[in-house]
Amino acid sequence: MNEEGLKKVIKQEAQKIEIRTSANDILERYKVEKMVKKKKPWYLSRPFAYGASAFGVLAIALGIGLGIGLNNHASNTPTIAPAQNAILNQASYEILAAVTSGSVDDGTSSQSMARNLKNAFNPYDTNDVADDNAKLKEAVGAFEQYREMVFDLERKSVSQEFYTPIESDDANYAYAIQISDGLILYYNDASFEDRDEEEVNKTYNASLKDGNKTFDVTLEKTVETEGDEVETEISTKIFTDRQNYVEIKESFEEDSGETEQTYELTKFVNESYQTRIKFERETEGRKTEKKFEIEKDPNYSGSYEYKIKNLNVDNNTFTLNYENKDVNYDGAKYVFNNETIYP
Amino acid sequence: MSTDEILLALRELKKGNMDAFESFYENTKRTTYFGAYAILKDKMLAEDVLQEVYLKFLSMVNEVDESKSIVAFLATMARNMALNVYNKEKRNVELQEGHDDGYEEFKLGERKDFFDRMRLLLNDEEYEIVILHVIDEMKHREIAELLNIPLGSVTWKYNNAIQKLQKGMEDFL
């Protein structure tokens, strides 16, 4: 057989090879899991100094998420929303930054932070009773700094300057946002769109540049509309590599004047979640309920939580109820529930 | 395979029209698959690499240079990813079996079909050159660039491989 004949046979044999992967398989994977470059995790390369940058990274991801999700722009382009809600999250982010800023290798700083938090809210033995006024006052005082932080951030809700749209200088991305000196988020129009009668799903590719470091960012937004009820979910992932990333899940639900908003921030190390922070805000008429939760060590089977009700924001009258089961420091879970009822 | 179809699909993908992916994939998957298979000689691993190649491709579709061969571009990606997998697999087998040629022995036991026979007849470079030229339809010049060897070496090794196959694959031909 001559060369051409041999080539023909080889090609025919190649056609017989069954390739089981379909285009749809790949698109499905692409939707949920973008390929990312392998880089050294930012929280390892700058363990402690990254507190501020981590805050920025998370905040901008939130910003773009809010822009995409909560402002319901007609265009495909994510724009930056007035971040009234974002500012509430900054509290979460600051704490997340603090919790995650410790070395991942030994977790010392994270654990130290967790202990400090725990001690702040647990200045007594677990057998102490909650109706001890002096102890209650002390407990409330410990909480106050966190409450003030949240409220202070809420008051500074005009945060537009925090996200400044600039002209993109990266040919791969159409848009850019300056977060701070040296920290820029680049992004494109939606790269993937899937819609049916009730649900619209869009995926965005983005890149976060911090000086010489670059992080892949993916955003997935789903809007579900059913009658008057609109639910928006946004998932933002900031990757250092495929196994190490921070995921921010946000949802906003509106139904007949009632709103429910949640933010969940999770740090994944080697594809296992290490730290989870959740913030919820529910508004019904003039009543607003907020819940703040930090969770470490998902393998810990016990529970540990405080519930604090603030009936009047003008004084420090708190009703503190808590339950405390078997707990160790590394498995601690904190829940701060702040309910405000306006007169 | 239609180069025009591939190019048209690529341009649609760049616009964000993911419906074009099916056409693009169907027109290129075999060449990409064999780009990986040429290195790995393992169908399952080659499929894994195939998926990774297209995921990577989709994530950087706007950076793809239309003036260059898309097929060669995919084949290069497949080759590089396959080499990473190969080295990782080889390390794993070495660790498990405690000797250097464990990977080769492990793989040789499975060679039974047409391409397995080809693999036995040709050395690694000859096999890869044949796959790249015949199935991936890459030009000798492109293969020389990809493998970083002189053009004359590609031509010589290819001709040598064809002669070996003409003799050794008679019962398949």
pLDDT score, position A146: 39
In this prediction, residue A287 carries a pLDDT of 67
pLDDT value, residue A279: 64
B140 in reach of chain A (CB within 8 A): no
Q: What pLDDT is recorded for position A299? A: 53
Give the whole-angstrom CA distance, residue A17 versus residue B73.
22
Q: Among A13, A19, A172, whose Cβ lies nearest the Cβ of B63? A: A172
Measured distance CA(B55)–CA(A276) in Å, rounded:
28
Does residue A130 surpass a pLDDT of 70?
A: no
d(CA B66, nearest CA chain A) in Å: 15
Q: How confident is the model at residue B76 (pLDDT cuts 50, 70, 90)?
A: confident
Residues contacting A269, CB < 8 A, separation 6+? A41, A104, A243, A244
Better-predicted residue by pLDDT, B49 or A131 = B49
Whole-number mean pLDDT of chain A?
Answer: 55
Task: Looking at the complex, report in whole angstroms how far the Cα of residue B115 sits from the nearest Cα belonging to chain A.
Answer: 8
Tell me the CA distances in angstroms from A251 to A68, A189, A282, A341, one per residue in order: 12, 21, 12, 23
Rounded to whole angstroms, what are the CA distances from A312 to A139, B27, B47?
A: 17, 67, 62
Judge if ipTM > 0.95: no
Rounded Cα–Cα distance for residues B21 and A268 (Å): 31
- pLDDT of A62 > 50? The answer is no
pTM, to two decimals: 0.39
User: Measured between alpha carbons, how far is B139 from A81 in angstroms, rounded to an integer?
Assistant: 52
User: What would the mean pLDDT of B53-82 be, rounded to a whole number?
Assistant: 84
Q: How many residues does chain B have?
A: 173
Flag whether residue A15 sits within 8 Å of chain B, measured between CB atoms.
Answer: yes
The alpha-carbon gap from A187 to the nearest alpha carbon of chain B, in Å, equals: 12
3-state secondary structure of A53: helix
Q: Is the pLDDT of residue A251 over 50?
A: yes
Would you call A22 helix, strand, or coil by DSSP?
coil
More confident position, B93 or B124? B124
Q: What is the mean pLDDT of residues A161-168?
A: 64
Q: What is the pLDDT of residues A184-200, one digit of tens each?
A: 778 777 767 777 777 88
Q: How far apart are CA A163 and CA A56, in angstroms?
A: 10
A80-94, A122-136, A260-274, B158-172: which is most confident: B158-172
The confidence score (pLDDT) of residue A200 equals 80
Q: What is the largest CA-CA distance in chain A?
A: 98
Does A132 reach chain B within 8 Å, measured CB to CB?
no
Alpha carbon separation from A306 to A121, A170, A317, A333 (Å, rounded)? 8, 47, 16, 9
Cβ pairs A/B, distance under 8 A: 88
Of A3, A13, A205, the CB nearest to B115: A13
Q: What does the block give as tokens for A100? A: 């995650």
Q: Categorize the per-residue pLDDT at A88 as very low, low, confident or very high, splitting at 50, 70 and 90.
A: very low
Comparing CA positions, the residue from A100, A111, A14 lying closest to residue A52 is A100
Percent of chain B whose predicted confidence (pLDDT) is above 90: 8
Confidence tier at A290 by pLDDT (50, 70, 90): low
Q: How far apart are CA B12 and CA B20, in angstroms?
A: 6
Q: Between B158 and A226, name the one with better pLDDT.
A: B158
Amino acid letter, B137: E
Three-class HEC string of chain B: CCHHHHHHHHHHHHCCCHHHHHHHHHHHHHHHHHHHHHHHCCHHHHHHHHHHHHHHHHHCHHHCCCCCCHHHHHHHHHHHHHHHHHHHHHHHHHHHHCCCCHHHHHHHCCCCCHHHHHHHHCCHHHHHHHHHHHHCCCCHHHHHHHHCCCHHHHHHHHHHHHHHHHHHCHHHC
φ and ψ at A297, to 5 degrees? 60, 85
Point out the residue among A19, A23, A172 whose CB comes nearest to the CB of B22. A23
Q: Which of A115-124, A215-224, B114-123 has the lowest mean pLDDT?
A: A115-124
Residue A187 host element (H or E): strand A183-187
Coil, helix or strand at residue A86:
helix
* Structure confidence at residue A117 (pLDDT): 37
- Reported as a single tens digit per residue, the pLDDT across A34-57 is 433 333 222 222 222 222 233 333
Selected for mutation to probe chain A from B54, B138, B170, B172 (highest A CB count within 10 Å) is B54
Choose among A189, A209, A204: nearest CA to A235.
A204
Task: Please indicate if any CB of chain B lies within 8 Å of the CB of A29.
Answer: yes
Specify the range with the lowest mean pLDDT, choosing from A73-77, B21-25, B137-141. A73-77
CA gap A213, A207 in Å, rounded: 10
Distance (Å, whole) CA B161 – CA A6: 11
How confident is residue A262, by pLDDT bands cut at 50, 70 and 90? confident
Res. B102 pLDDT band, cuts 50 70 90: very low
Residue type, A243: Q
Q: What is the pLDDT of residue A288?
A: 64
Would the pLDDT of B158 be above 90? yes
- pLDDT over threshold 60, residue A182: yes
Q: Which band of pLDDT confidence, cut at 50, 70 and 90, is reported for residue B54?
A: very high
Indicate if the pLDDT at residue A1 is higher than 60.
yes
A165-177 pLDDT, tens per residue? 788 888 888 878 7
Question: What local confidence, expressed as pLDDT, does residue B148 receive?
Answer: 79
B5 touching chain A per CB within 8 A? no
Kind plus residue range of the DSSP H or E element containing A115: helix A108-121
At A275 the pLDDT is 60
How far does the CA of residue B33 sit from the closest CA of chain A (Å)?
8
A174 in contact with chain B, both atoms CB, cutoff 8 A = no
**Quick one: pLDDT at residue A204?**
76
* pLDDT of amino acid B144: 85
Flag whether residue A192 sits within 8 Å of chain B, measured between CB atoms: yes
- Does B158 contact chain A (CB < 8 Å)? no
